[in-house]
Structure 1
């Protein structure tokens, strides 16, 4: 999608009336007779790539090259230093509600949002109204790699490998290119591509998947990767939750960074308030954390979580407006690199320190699909068109609170 337009901004009160009225007319996301398929324990693998070589390359660059990277790709390098607490992550997944695409802790509903992830990555070139849309006819992987790397077709084609159901390029080939490429900007680009493929959209260990190249090629045009990152995060959590086991394919580092931003009261860690040059990821990386908490203890903490334990709005998050629906969808559809899913920002208005009312979720649980076969292309076009008619809600400053109807929802 080359251009979008946030063409309507509405008051909190008007959105509340629309959402609660429509929810009563249409009903909930879950169909009548729905039986929850949540397991008491989800066996989830959080296998990560070894990022040491990426860290070493970054450490060798001077400030000028690093500033070039920050300008084009934001705070991605800090992800390399985010420690993945597998015990916390496995405990956290127990509370993922795949029907609503949110975490549910008792009466506390929370979800990573577009606005939060955009602020966390802190990239000045991101245009939030220009989302990535998978084209009907995906350009050849080799052509995309040639454009990104500046290398010849022969160099690219001899290094492409087949992994499972898709093609990819080994990290070792990208590493050698970063170290030897004469063009500084190309070194920066390939380094960023490697972070996207090895950290954010991790699929085959030690390789960058072909689906990443198409999205990455659009980043230079200001396309935002945030909806795609959220889509694959939610889809992977949904798949693991429904199956009761599986490997999480998403950015664990970003998800844990988001978690710590909302639950710092539990860990008794304070953060500075937001400023224009403030980097949430930089501070999160620099904050010492305990690594001796067992998974069972984390489960106990999360099970007994109270509303007062939550920092409803991350301390660095000060949004003026909230994207809450797109086109004819009553919520926000997200296009990833391998599939699509939807999420309802109105589920978590308290995260914006706004008044929480009953959200509209009809059809949300049924909107997930993968980019396989021929039927998905029509759905992709519908979602892409919907993002041209995005609706936002004005921020409503208040203490975190709910309407009386919310508890009966």
Structure 2
């Protein structure tokens, strides 16, 4: 599956349209329709409870305190209210008296994962942009040790999403058959795919599996920039379209927002059951909230340095699992305990980009990675408050922003919804009319070309019959060739057997010839001995005769 096609498909499902990321034309309609559909975490929590105490400790050491997200109740109405004050061109929530920026350093405090400096971040490769079912299965095999036969039925046929719940149920709601490290990774993959990056509702997106695989194969991997990138990208899409499903981690966002909002009115509203809170209540409090109602520095903040772009740069392009977005801390000085000054972002942040665009995307990814490597950790000087030039700049800047300075009540909200739906129905009607005209023209063309189509069909049938006959002949030829091949192989085998027999016969004849030569040698030796024996007998007989002659003479 092409990674870019999967991104486009996911956009249509969640109502995203990245062509609308150009937010120079700010709308005055601040009535957002945000889907709060989230994956069911019942089985995931049960799987974590099955881990032993040592495995839970190893889980925290390797992946941080991400299981704390289970205990956070998502505050969707707070998210909708804050989204009304979001300014995408600066990446900040701008309220009448103050502003807040969602920063990497703060999210890192909540995740408690690897360091934010001298660490690796997610960098998409060519393989990640062309994910296939085989690649996803290979990643799952490295992560959890799953075989291809086990993971094949668990992958969605259209998106290759991994169904974690079905995998856990298939194993009998038990992780006993897995090794300890694989059990830990399996649960962590579920947290990443269904809590931190809930791209799909009923499965884990293949891009998340790719990120998790890179996390395990890279030392000192820092997922926080990727988490922030996906959060900011999803907020920009919803802000531009005024609707959609939030694809970031709503639990992290809720924890971050609750930690900053400490005023009496905020505390009173937070004490109300979450189902009884209203977007209008949050909106009204934000309009009248002052600096004293906000805790700029997190309660758990313990860092002495904060992440800053490289020299001569005022923003960092972050790489998410579906695309990139620019990030800046120019309006977040007070959140690091410093004095807020005038930001250097005169024209705002550059627009985000996604991996579905093919124009120079590799160059953008390479540039983003190089800038991240050059980022600096600057010390915090503890200069609380603001600088005089900032107050003057802000008073002018906020007048040029389109902010929801009026609370939209339920009746007005309903009217806006009905108006939006009416406009949408008109556009749909025009679209259907165009579609009908196109179909009518197509029908007329088909009617006129029917005779030509029939003639072409007859020709195609003839060609089909001819091709069929050719195929039959080719089959026969192939069958004959196979039979000839079989015979040749049989002849080759017979020849090889004969060759072995001849080899044995030659060896036997060689041994027989050697034996005959040995017999001849011994025969010659025997004849020589007989000759010597005959000569000795003759000599002995001569000596006897000579001795007898001597004795006769003596007598």
Q: TM-score, normalised by structure 1?
A: 0.81
1:323 — aligned with what? 307
The answer to whether the 8 Å contact 2:316/2:368 transfers is: no
**Match in the other structure for 2:371:** 386
Q: Gapped runs of 5+ residues in structure 1?
A: 1-30, 270-286
- Whether 2:157 is the aligned partner of 1:162: answer yes
Partner of 1:263: 261
Match of 1:227 in 2: 225
Where does 1:360-379 land on structure 2 (aligned, <5 Å)?
360-362=344-346, 364-375=348-359, 376-379=361-364
Shift of 1:38: 4.9
Q: CA deviation at 1:126?
A: 7.2
Preserved CA contact (<8 Å) 1:69 1:188: yes
Q: Is this contact kept in 2: 1:343–1:364, CA < 8 A?
A: no
How big is the shift at 1:216? 0.7
C-alpha contact (below 8 Å) 2:154/2:162 kept by paired residues: yes
Contact map agreement 2:114 2:221 (CA 8 A) in 1: no
Q: Count matched residues.
A: 360
1:183 aligns with 179
Which residue does 1:23 correspond to in 2? Answer: none
- Cα contact 1:96–1:104 (8 A) shared by 2: yes
Stretches of structure 2 lacking an aligned partner (at least 5 in a row) = 1-21, 395-555
1:396 has 2:381 as partner? yes
What SS does structure 2 have at the residue aligned with 1:61?
Answer: coil
| CA deviation string 1:276-328 (max 9, x = no partner) | xxxxxxxxxxx977423222111111222211111010111132222221476
> Which of 197, 204, 213 lines up with 1:217 in the alignment?
213
The C-alpha deviation readout for 1:232-272, integer Å capped at 9, x for no partner, is: 10000000001011111110000010001111334676xxx
| Distance in 1 of aligned mates of 2:193 and 2:148 | 21
* Number of the residue aligned with 2:92: 102
| Cα distance in 2 for residues equivalent to 1:389 and 1:354 | 22
- Measure, in 1, the Cα distance between the counterparts of 2:265 and 2:46: 31
Give the secondary structure class of the aligned counterpart of 1:169: coil
State the 1:370 CA deviation. 0.8
Stretch deviating more after TM superposition (189-198 or 399-408): 399-408
The residue number in structure 1 matching 2:236 is: 238
Q: Which has the higher helix share?
A: 2
* In structure 2, C-alpha distance between the alignment counterparts of 1:289 and 1:116, rounded to whole Å: 26
Q: Let me know the Cα RMSD of the aligned residues.
A: 2.5
**Relative contact order, CA 8 A, sep 6+: which one is greater?**
1
Tell me the distance in 2 between the aligned counterparts of 1:289 and 1:121: 27
The range that moved more, 34-43 or 345-354, is 34-43
Of 167, 178, 188 in structure 2, the residue corresponding to residue 174 of structure 1 is: 167
Deviation string for 1:83-140 (max 9, x for gaps)? Answer: 0122222212111111111111114121121111111111257766311111133262
Of the two, which has the highest radius of gyration?
A: 2
Cα distance in 2, alignment partners of residues 260 and 167 from structure 1: 36
Instruction: State the match for 1:119 in structure 2.
Output: 109
Contact 2:316 2:326 in 1 (8 A): yes
Matched residues in 2 for 1:385 and 1:363: separation?
Answer: 23
Aligned partner of 1:203 among 195, 199, 206: 199
Which residue in 2 is equivalent to 1:21?
Answer: none
Structure 2 counterpart SS, 1:347:
coil
Find the aligned partners of 1:144 and 1:301 in 2 and give their Cα distance: 47
**1:18 alignment partner in structure 2:** none
Q: Aligned partners of 2:37 and 2:346: how far apart in 1?
A: 35
TM-score by length of 2: 0.61
Q: Equivalent residue of 1:223, what SS?
A: coil
The CA distance in 2 between the partners of 1:197 and 1:171, in whole Å, is 9
For residues 170 and 128 of structure 1, do their structure 2 counterparts lie closer, same or farther at Cα, with a shift above 3 Å needed? farther
